[in-house]
Amino acid sequence: MKRSAAILLFSLALSFASGLLYGQFKPEEIARRGEMETFLVTAEIVRSEPVGEGVTHPYRLFLKKGDLEITAFWKNPSGMMDGFLEGWQYEIAAYRLDKLIGLNMVPVTVEREFQGKKGDLSLSAENKYSLLKVTDLGIRIPDEAQGQVEKMKWLARAWDSLVGNEDRTRQNVLYTEDWRTILIDHSRAFRSTKKFTEKLMFGADGIVKGEDGRALLFRRVPRWFYEKVKALTSGSVKEAVGATLTEKEIRSLLARRDLLVKEIDAQVRQQGEANVLYD
């Protein structure tokens, strides 16, 4: 990637001193997402190569339009794969819902045809570490970043609970050099079976448990996230995600919305609002 493109897309500076906790992307980058969506759809594919890992068999595409050159990842999983329901359209739905809520942690993702097949194309998010590398290599998070990383861990759990993502692994949580969190890979999200509408992925009675069998909680969440989730409606979700989700998948999302709000409200009653919601 050319230096100018890297600066344009992923400078993503987050000032811990300023207390900026509204997602991970800078306002000017958020303002240019529409431009980046258009680029991903219309830019020339000058080269491609298989990534060589992952059950969804992604490709790395090298795109060029004018003086701008960018790397992106394309895949088109669909149906049952290795015992899991996969869907490339869920990647697009996750990005669009991220925009609707203002999460600002999911890279720009669009629909793009490649080799005669439809799939999703996601902007390559520059990063230095994955959570897997951090834990396996014992990389120490700097003192000044620990609080923010911890809050983003809880926020990611709340997000995965909302979208019914059953595949949040340590490989698909990424950190930039200055320890901002980026979430990738949502092809196993938006589950709609009973299991994923009666329980959240995380929480006091969550589906996912720790190695010791104990619940994995989202202890604190931003007030704006709580309010945005409460405000979701069938109409607002449908307008945002378009045809990437079915009616049943949208109903399932709204069922999880209710569970998520109920869980946060319970934490507020037990611990006090100031200990759960932050501005």
CATH number, domain with residue 218: 1.10.1070
Among residues 81, 103, 123, the one where a domain terminates is 123
Q: Assess whether 92 and 152 both reside in one domain.
A: no
Res 5 pLDDT > 70: no
Report whether 114 contacts 120 (CB < 8 A): no
Q: Assess whether 112 and 197 both reside in one domain.
A: no
Sign of the torsion angle spanned by Cα atoms 40, 237, 79, 103: positive
Burial category of 228 from C-beta neighbours within 10 Å (exposed 0-12, middle 13-18, buried 19 and up): middle
What was the pLDDT predicted at 17? 33
Q: Assess whether 48 and 88 both reside in one domain.
A: yes
Q: Assess whether 115 and 139 both reside in one domain.
A: no
Q: Cβ–Cβ contacts within 10 Å for residue 197, how many?
A: 19
Q: Assess whether 116 and 213 both reside in one domain.
A: no
| Spacing of C-alpha 153 from chain mean position | 12
Tens of pLDDT, residues 115-158: 999 999 999 877 899 999 999 999 999 999 999 999 999 999 99
Residue type, 19: G
What was the pLDDT predicted at 83? 82
Tens of pLDDT, residues 46-97: 999 998 766 678 999 999 999 999 999 999 998 888 888 999 999 999 999 9
Among residues 106, 123, 140, the one where a domain terminates is 123
Report whether 178 contacts 14 (CB < 8 A): yes
User: How many Å apart are CA 73 and CA 125, to the nearest integer?
Assistant: 10
Q: Assess whether 106 and 212 both reside in one domain.
A: no
- Cα–Cα distances in angstroms (integers) from residue 208 to residues 100, 168, 226, in the given order: 26, 10, 21
HSE on the CB side for 11, CA within 13 Å? 12
For residue 195, give both structure tokens. Answer: 């299991």
Mean pLDDT confidence for 203-224: 94
Among residues 123, 152, 177, the one where a domain terminates is 123
- Of 241 and 13, the one with more pLDDT: 241
Q: Assess whether 89 and 200 both reside in one domain.
A: no
Q: Assess whether 235 and 157 both reside in one domain.
A: yes
What was the pLDDT predicted at 24? 75
pLDDT over 70 percentage in the chain:
91
| Count of domains observed in the chain | 2
Which letter, b or e, does each residue of 103-124 get, where b requires 16 or more Cβ atoms within 10 Å of its Cβ? bbbbbbbbbbeeeeeebbbbbb
**pTM of the model as a whole:** 0.90
For residue 181, give both structure tokens. Answer: 């969190």
Using alpha carbons, select from 144, 49, 40 the residue that is nearest to residue 92. Answer: 40
Structural domain that includes position 50: 3-123
Q: Assess whether 26 and 119 both reside in one domain.
A: yes
Q: Assess whether 157 and 36 both reside in one domain.
A: no
Q: Assess whether 93 and 137 both reside in one domain.
A: no
Q: Assess whether 60 and 180 both reside in one domain.
A: no
Tens of pLDDT, residues 33-50: 999 999 999 999 999 999
5 phi, psi to nearest 5 deg? -70, -40
